[in-house]
């Protein structure tokens, strides 16, 4: 007989049990469920709705169940429907009639809302910790490479020389925004829906502020009708993860390109690469490829839950049971992705010489020549044209623009004089505007991220 079986005269069909049950996946919430029930029953005792003795008996029973689950002794039964009913049923088996008092002044609707919310909030914190570690790695690499030149690209075509440290800090910037999003979501959603009961609140004299304190929330939610059907917290983490994975996918793409024999800017460590089953010479970048691939399901999970929630009338609807699997999946895959991305970055070899060699292709300092002429009073359009002629000469000679001699350049235009320096180093160092690639500016950026990390770690 089901816990709710009073008005039913026939048992449910087996296929209904299979279709209806969330227990195969929502057992993930057992800790939150047990903690929520302890907080609820202790509050009921404080309010004189249960005796303290009853509440303590309930607590004892719940802790025993936690133990059983953790030791693998708990018997999972599909016909219990979900983690909430499974635990309550076992509690009644263990402590008898007192266990039947636990569900006073609450419903599974606020119970699942509080359990799932707390589970998601905890994961927000885990993401924050992981992202900080990742940013730290970008900063560490940047520190070593404020002078390492590589071709900065637009359209994946050589554009201007930049430093590898600068490039790494572009990613630190992205992941810092991700960090902030998880932090803000935590703050916004750290509100307690417990005690909202089915949808309208309860006539019992409960104290929602008490359970709020016990469960570590900032405050109780303000409207019960909203609280039992709100899944914004779940959607937020799915969106935050989608954005995070989009960023992870972008660096992954670069790692894949950089590790090709055409680029060879980096060499992935053996620990974080894989081989081919047929081609013995191969070393494949499976890690960044998988991260790039997993980004797809992160987006899919977000769209899935957005679609579930669309058009749902107030308040609770069983559709919402579909909220958990996408979130569990996204969280699991993104946490491991960020962890392994960090290790891959930490252990990769950075091939400075290859980066420099590549920077010698594509006349990266052409804009510098045009800018030089503009400073000498040449109108930009004309400067552009003169630079074009210099590039043509370099092409004809089969060298890079930065390798033309001063005399050759002077021959192109008489306004060119001894103070012209078209070297890659000079080009990179001259870009000193705020937030730019010059080493002194990159050092400023390093300080900025170090300050952020320090503040967030304190
Ligand atoms: N397993 C359900 C879920 O995840 C719990 C809430 C059930 N509430 C109800 N009124 N049937 O949504």
Q: Mean pLDDT for each consecutive 10-residue tract of the chain (458 residues)?
A: 81 93 98 98 98 98 98 96 98 98 98 98 98 98 98 96 98 98 98 98 98 98 98 98 98 98 96 83 92 98 98 98 98 98 98 98 95 95 96 96 95 95 96 98 98 96
Residue 119 Cβ contacting ligand 1 at under 6 Å: no
Ligand 1, residues 116, 321, 327: which to mutate, most atoms within 8 A of Cβ?
321
Residue nearest to atom 4 of ligand 1 (CA): 321
Residues with catalytic annotation?
A: 155, 276
Name the nearest CA neighbour of 338 among 395, 300, 290. 290
pLDDT at 6: 82
pLDDT at 280: 79
Q: What are phi and psi of 286, to 5 degrees?
A: -60, -35
Residues 6+ apart with CB under 8 A from 198: 107, 109, 110, 228, 315, 316
Prediction pTM value: 0.96
The C-alpha atoms of residue 440 and residue 105 are separated, in whole angstroms, by 63
Residue nearest to atom 3 of ligand 1 (CA): 321
Specify which residues 266 forms β-bridges with: 350
Centre of ligand 1 from the C-alpha of residue 83, in Å: 10
What's the burial of 367, exposed, middle or buried (CB within 10 Å: 0-12/13-18/19+)? Answer: middle
Centre of ligand 1 from the C-alpha of residue 377, in Å: 74
The C-alpha atoms of residue 198 and residue 215 are separated, in whole angstroms, by 20
Name the nearest CA neighbour of 84 among 143, 21, 10. 21
Handedness of CA 408, 413, 415, 421 (dihedral sign): negative
pLDDT at 241: 99
pLDDT at 9: 85
pLDDT at 195: 98
Residue nearest to atom 2 of ligand 1 (CA): 321
| Residue 83 alpha carbon, nearest atom of ligand 1 | 1
The C-alpha atoms of residue 23 and residue 387 are separated, in whole angstroms, by 70
pLDDT at 12: 87
pLDDT at 41: 98
Centre of ligand 1 from the C-alpha of residue 110, in Å: 9
pLDDT at 316: 97
Helices (H), 206-351: 208-214, 224-227, 232-258, 286-309, 324-347
């Amino acid at each position: 007989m089901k816990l709710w079986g009073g008005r039913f005269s026939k048992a449910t069909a087996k296929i209904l049990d299979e279709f209806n049950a969330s227990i195969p996946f929502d057992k993930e919430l057992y800790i939150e469920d047990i903690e929520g029930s302890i907080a609820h029953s202790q509050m009921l005792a404080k309010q004189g709705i249960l005796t303290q003795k009853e509440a303590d008996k309930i607590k004892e029973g719940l802790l025993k169940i936690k133990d059983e689950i953790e030791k693998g002794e708990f018997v999972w039964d599909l016909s219990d429907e979900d983690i909430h009913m499974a635990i309550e049923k076992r509690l009644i088996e263990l402590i008898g009639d007192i266990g039947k008092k636990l569900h006073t002044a609450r419903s599974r609707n606020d119970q699942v809302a509080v359990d799932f919310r707390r589970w998601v909030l905890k994961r927000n914190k885990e993401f924050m910790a992981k992202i900080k570690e990742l940013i730290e790695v970008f900063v560490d690499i940047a520190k070593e490479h404020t002078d390492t030149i590589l071709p900065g690209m637009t359209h994946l075509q050589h554009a201007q020389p930049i430093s590898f440290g600068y490039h790494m800090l572009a990613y630190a910037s992205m992941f810092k925004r991700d960090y902030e999003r998880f932090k803000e979501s935590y703050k916004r959603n750290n509100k307690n829906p417990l005690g909202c009961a089915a949808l309208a609140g309860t006539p019992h004299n409960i104290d929602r502020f008490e359970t709020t304190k016990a469960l570590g929330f900032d405050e109780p939610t303000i409207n019960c009708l909203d609280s039992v059907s709100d899944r914004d917290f779940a959607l937020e983490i799915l969106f935050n993860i989608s954005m995070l994975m989009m960023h992870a996918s972008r660096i992954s793409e670069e790692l894949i390109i950089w590790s090709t024999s055409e680029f060879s800017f980096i060499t992935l460590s053996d620990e974080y690469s894989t081989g081919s089953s047929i081609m013995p010479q191969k070393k494949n970048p499976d890690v960044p490829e998988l991260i790039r691939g997993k980004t797809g399901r992160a987006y899919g999970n977000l769209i899935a839950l957005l679609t579930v929630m669309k058009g749902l009338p107030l308040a609770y609807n069983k559709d919402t049971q579909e909220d958990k699997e996408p979130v569990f999946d996204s969280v699991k895959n993104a946490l491991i992705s960020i962890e392994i991305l960090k290790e891959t970055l930490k252990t990769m070899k950075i091939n400075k010489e290859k980066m420099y060699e590549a920077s010698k292709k594509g006349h990266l300092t052409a804009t510098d020549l045009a800018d030089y002429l503009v400073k000498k009073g040449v109108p930009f359009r004309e400067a552009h044209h003169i630079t074009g002629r210099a590039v043509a000469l370099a092409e004809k000679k089969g060298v890079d623009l930065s390798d033309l001699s001063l005399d050759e350049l002077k021959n192109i235009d008489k306004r060119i004089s001894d103070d012209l320096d078209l070297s890659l180093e000079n080009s990179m160092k001259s870009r000193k505007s705020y937030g730019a690639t010059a080493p002194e500016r990159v050092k400023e950026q390093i300080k900025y991220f170090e300050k952020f990390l320090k503040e967030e770690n304190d």
